A and B are shown apart, each in its own frame.
Chain A
């Protein structure tokens, strides 16, 4: 230290009034990277500069950081290894790559077809869904009709069985219904029983 910078009695005076012990958390005002960068570059406003200097008083780490930042700014920049650069560049290429690379490899014709497909895929998907729904509906309708028919037949049979507990139908056969008074066997020939004059 340069002893000409102050008098010992000044130091004693400061020691008596030194407001807050270093490291006191009450003075740890939040500072982000932009604030600190602005301060280091001398672009911080009065209010921000006061906030940072208030914290510098109590935060030895921040004080070391500011000192180091000043020092780094004076040092020459070292060339980064090619591997670091390659990996960093790949970060954004990797994000942008998928569609472009695939297109390039497939060739322009196939690429055009793929682009067309990508464009119409939602329309195609919607059409497929509608067709599937309609097909399902039609299939359901036909199945229901068949079911109703078969149910009708079985219900009719049950009715017949119920009407005649012995199993003999009380209802006449179609032939009997057609020609009352005729015997089975000649129902289709009304003139056979002397009906003729």
Chain B
């Protein structure tokens, strides 16, 4: 853990002041990105209160939340952005202000499958572990979400080539699994009654 953060956790006012000066901009930006367009009230005032809430959360109970940050696992900027956005969502919930138009909420309800009632399109149960979580996610983003490869690569923080290769391998596994089995495959002993 870096020296400044250690002093900060020890309750050193100067270290805390330096911490605030260093990260206030990022917290402010992250909070306002969540609030913008989601509230009818005074965004500036709500934003300032929410930024303050983020700092209160960090300080509360002898810096309990800030102590939970592990620099070995993630960067402070990413971690603080997540904490700030989470606090902003809580602020929106507290305000009980409409965060999305009704039409959007309506769209968020999962649509019934388009092939409902079509016997030929019955969903087939895949054996667990046939596809890895990443393979499943890539196919979901490609086919269900209609994302393109660069977007998937950006979101999963992987190379576009990796996305394509993941997609290719996953489809290969699916095709193999769906391939009709020959009789000798379904009856390995090959016993035939006389």
- With contacts A33-B82, A57-B140, A69-B82 taken as known, whether A89 is within 8 angstroms of B20 at the C-beta atoms is yes
Q: How far is the CB of B96 from chain A (nearest CB, A)?
A: 19
Residue of B whose beta carbon sits closest to that of A60: B108
Check if A16 sits within 8 Å of B52, measured CB to CB. no
Total A-B residue contacts, Cβ distance less than 8 Å: 182
- Please tell me if A79 contacts chain B, counting CB pairs below 8 Å: yes
CA A161 to CA B51, docked complex, whole Å: 92
CA A68 to CA B147, docked complex, whole Å: 15
Contact residues, A80-134 vs B (CB, 8 A): 80-81, 83-85, 87-89, 91-93, 95-96
- Please tell me if B40 contacts chain A, counting CB pairs below 8 Å: no
CA A78 to CA B147, docked complex, whole Å: 30
- With contacts A70-B155, A81-B28 taken as known, whether A96 is within 8 angstroms of B13 at the C-beta atoms is yes
User: 1/0 per position for A23-41, CB-CB distance to B under 8 A?
Assistant: 1000000000110111011
CA A43 to CA B142, docked complex, whole Å: 25
Residue of B whose beta carbon sits closest to that of A44: B73
Q: How far is the CB of A190 from chain B (nearest CB, A)?
A: 97
Contact residues, A1-26 vs B (CB, 8 A): 1-2, 5-6, 10-11, 13-19, 21-23
- Please tell me if A147 contacts chain B, counting CB pairs below 8 Å: no
CA A157 to CA B38, docked complex, whole Å: 97
Tell which of A48-56, A148-156, A163-171, A179-187 binds the partner: A48-56
For residue B52, which residues in chain A have a CB less than 8 angstroms away from its CB? 84, 87-88
- Please tell me if A66 contacts chain B, counting CB pairs below 8 Å: yes
Check if B149 sits within 8 Å of A95, measured CB to CB. no
- With contacts A23-B110, A36-B82, A41-B78 taken as known, whether A89 is within 8 angstroms of B16 at the C-beta atoms is yes
Chain A residue total in the interface (Cβ 8 A): 60
Q: How far is the CB of A63 from chain B (nearest CB, A)?
A: 7
Q: How far is the CB of A73 from chain B (nearest CB, A)?
A: 7
CA A10 to CA B175, docked complex, whole Å: 9
Check if B73 sits within 8 Å of A43, measured CB to CB. yes
Check if B110 sits within 8 Å of A22, measured CB to CB. yes
CA A161 to CA B37, docked complex, whole Å: 104
Residue of B whose beta carbon sits closest to that of A42: B157
- Residues of chain A whose beta carbon lies under 8 Å from any beta carbon of chain B: 1-2, 5-6, 10-11, 13-19, 21-23, 33-34, 36-38, 40-44, 49-51, 53-54, 56-57, 60, 63, 65-70, 72-73, 75, 77-81, 83-85, 87-89, 91-93, 95-96
Q: Across the A-B interface, give the 8 residue pairs with the lowest CB-CB distance, nearest first.
A: A37-B74, A80-B24, A80-B28, A92-B16, A54-B133, A88-B55, A53-B133, A37-B79
Given contacts A17-B124, A37-B79, A93-B13, 9 further A-B contacts (CB under 8 A): A19-B131, A33-B79, A34-B68, A50-B134, A53-B134, A75-B29, A78-B32, A84-B51, A92-B13
